[in-house]
Amino acid sequence: MRIRFDKLGIVIALIAACGVFFSAFAVLKPNRILQGQAKTILEALPAWAGWGLLVLLAVATAIALFRMSPWLKLTAAAAALAALTIAIGYAASFLTPAGNSYARVSPASGFWILLFAFALLAADALTRLQPPPWMRVLFLAITGGGIALLLISGSWDGLSIMKEYGGRADVFWIEAGKHVTLALGSLFAAVLAGLPLGILCHRVTWLRTGVLNTLNLVQTIPSIALFGILIGPLAWIAATVPGAAALGIRGIGAAPAFVALFLYSLLPVVANTVVGLAGVPPEANDAARGIGMTDRQRLFQVEFPLALPVILTAIRIVLVQNIGMATIAALIGGGGFGVFVFQGIGQTAMDLVLLGAVPTVALAFAAAVMLDALIEANSRVPNGVSAA
């Protein structure tokens, strides 16, 4: 029988080999700041666990290397990812000296490389399976449940990132609330303003170029510069407009961060609304006119439903963008996960940086998966006719 290699599988195998043979699996540090000792898989785990993990990774890599069933590849990827996440928690317990409350164990580059390799394998298998939207959301929920189970079980309590969380648990959830509020609030405001503006630009063609060029100009301003530009006007409003300060409007804090994220969000919403409405088939509008629909009825009953997948694509782009950019709001006192990122950079404590970075990436990934599923669900219409 002819052996057939998988092209992406070869890349995944090379990445996995790099993670196992050329990178450390964990780092043992005397405290949260000082450099530590790099440990391989066999050094970071008891012999039985280390060899068991290596055998499992080898089997998963072999499955990735050859052309096999996508379900088998997905199962192998899930097993490898689960084993890695359990093993890194066990490594923390194994490496930490008994009674030493200062020592820290962190995932090293090899762990992250292996995590990336098998996450890539899982993503490739899911792409080939082409699961329906509900199944993607189910896979996301299972992944989230597995991570939650690890956190609740205490398997990761020995890791440095969890020790950083342990000392900041109350503050962490306060900043998480601020981060989500900034990302979702600015998105909601952009949708409220951007949809009518996009409809207006679609209907009034001479207005379109000026509005889109202005919004494009806003996109060219670096985020930190835009935060700085907004400090002066918002401080003036807080000082001169009665009640503005009571509403939370001030030169630094959440207000300039919210306004900046709102401005960055407008272009995708407005542009995709214009594109979506322009892509509505003329036959649909002609049929609507033929049965006596008014302009308002055509807009809300024909044009807008057909343009919805394109508009939802803009919302997906904006939400993922805002979740990432909200991190920078911490520089001007806006709060969010960026507080931990910039504190960690200032203290050269990389695990504190991860405490802010990992939830940000997880939120953005979850938002992208759920909105992708929603977009695909709205793109499907009866009889197999595409809404676009």
Encode pLDDT of 191-202 as tens digits: 999 999 999 998
Q: How many domains does the chain have?
A: 2
pLDDT of residue 127 exceeding 60: yes
Tokens linked to 206: 């001479």
User: In this structure, are 105 and 236 located in the same domain?
Assistant: no
Model pLDDT for residues 299-326, shown as the tens digit of each residue: 888 888 888 889 999 999 999 999 998 8
Model pLDDT for residues 155-180, shown as the tens digit of each residue: 898 899 998 888 888 899 999 999 99
Q: Please give the Cα distance from 167 to 205 (Å, whole number).
A: 56
Tokens linked to 173: 């959830």
User: In this structure, are 205 and 245 located in the same domain?
Assistant: yes
pLDDT of residue 327 exceeding 70: yes
Q: State which of 134, 159, 184 marks the end of a domain.
A: 159
For 62, the domain range is: 7-159
User: In this structure, are 134 and 218 located in the same domain?
Assistant: no
Model pLDDT for residues 59-74, shown as the tens digit of each residue: 999 999 988 889 999 9
User: In this structure, are 146 and 202 located in the same domain?
Assistant: no
Q: State which of 159, 192, 210 marks the end of a domain.
A: 159
Q: Would the pTM of this model clear 0.75, i.e. be above it?
A: yes
User: In this structure, are 140 and 118 located in the same domain?
Assistant: yes
Q: State which of 135, 159, 183 marks the end of a domain.
A: 159
User: In this structure, are 217 and 149 located in the same domain?
Assistant: no
- DSSP, res 121: H
Which distant-in-sequence residues (6+ apart) come within 8 Å of 341 by Cβ? 327, 330, 353, 356, 357
User: In this structure, are 154 and 177 located in the same domain?
Assistant: no
CATH code: domain of residue 278: 1.10.3720.10
- DSSP, res 269: H
User: In this structure, are 206 and 354 located in the same domain?
Assistant: yes
- DSSP, res 187: H
Q: Please give the Cα distance from 274 to 203 (Å, whole number).
A: 9
User: In this structure, are 362 and 223 located in the same domain?
Assistant: yes
| Residue 2 domain-assigned (yes or no) | no
User: In this structure, are 182 and 140 located in the same domain?
Assistant: no
Model pLDDT for residues 69-110, shown as the tens digit of each residue: 899 999 999 999 999 999 999 999 899 888 777 888 999 999
User: In this structure, are 83 and 231 located in the same domain?
Assistant: no
Q: What is the pLDDT of residue 382?
A: 42
Q: Which of these, 122, 113, 151, 117, lies nearest to 25 by C-alpha position?
A: 113
- DSSP, res 97: P
